[in-house]
Amino acid sequence: MAGKGGLYLMRGMMGRCPACGEGKLFRAFVKVADRCPACGEDLHHHRADDFPAYLTIFLVGHLVVPIAMYVEIVYQPSYWLHTALWAPLVILLSIGLLQPIKGMIVALQWHMGMHGFAAAKQARAEYC
Ligand SMILES: [Zn+2]
């Protein structure tokens, strides 16, 4: 994220409105607010759909599987210990990453003017 270019992504990751960075992006765990409570930016246009879940699975899998394989090769623990280690880690990482990833995807759609965000992007371009 170089300079100002990635600021909107950071705002989305932190659960803040990509436009102002003040208002909350989410009204529930992964429910995006219809509009920003601080600046009024319309946010209901997003179409994140299953992509945040897909990315979360992709990232968690690529983090946990190599670690689990390393532990298996080096220590050969019993299967119950594998289950006791990796199942909670996968659940915690998935819950922890889902909202920040969804925030980044909504912010990316906002920035790129995707779906219903096109009019807002056009307005930003004319304003600047
Ligand atoms: Zn805002």
Distance, CA 21 to ligand 1 centroid (Å)?
Answer: 6
SS3 24: strand
Distance, CA 61 to ligand 1 centroid (Å)?
Answer: 33
Distance, CA 115 to ligand 1 centroid (Å)?
Answer: 18
Task: Report pLDDT for 3.
Answer: 46
Task: Judge contact between 106 and 25, C-beta under 8 A.
Answer: yes
What distances in angstroms separate CA 23 from CA 18, 43, 118, one per listed residue? 9, 11, 21
Handedness of CA 17, 22, 28, 34 (dihedral sign): negative
Tokens found for residue 18:
């990509």
Tokens found for residue 89:
């880690």
Residue 106, amino acid: V
Task: Report pLDDT for 26.
Answer: 97
Tokens found for residue 128:
């600047």
Task: Report pLDDT for 2.
Answer: 41
Mean of the per-residue pLDDT values of the chain: 93
What are the sequence ranges of the domains in the chain? 3-127
| 48-73 confidence digits (pLDDT tens) | 999 999 999 999 999 999 999 999 99
Give the percent of the chain with pLDDT over 90. Answer: 85
- The arithmetic mean of pLDDT across residues 106-113, rounded, is 95
What distances in angstroms separate CA 67 from CA 56, 63, 96, one per listed residue? 17, 7, 18
Distance, CA 11 to ligand 1 centroid (Å)?
Answer: 10
| 90-103 confidence digits (pLDDT tens) | 999 999 999 999 99
| 6 — pLDDT class (breaks 50, 70, 90) | confident
Distance, CA 45 to ligand 1 centroid (Å)?
Answer: 14
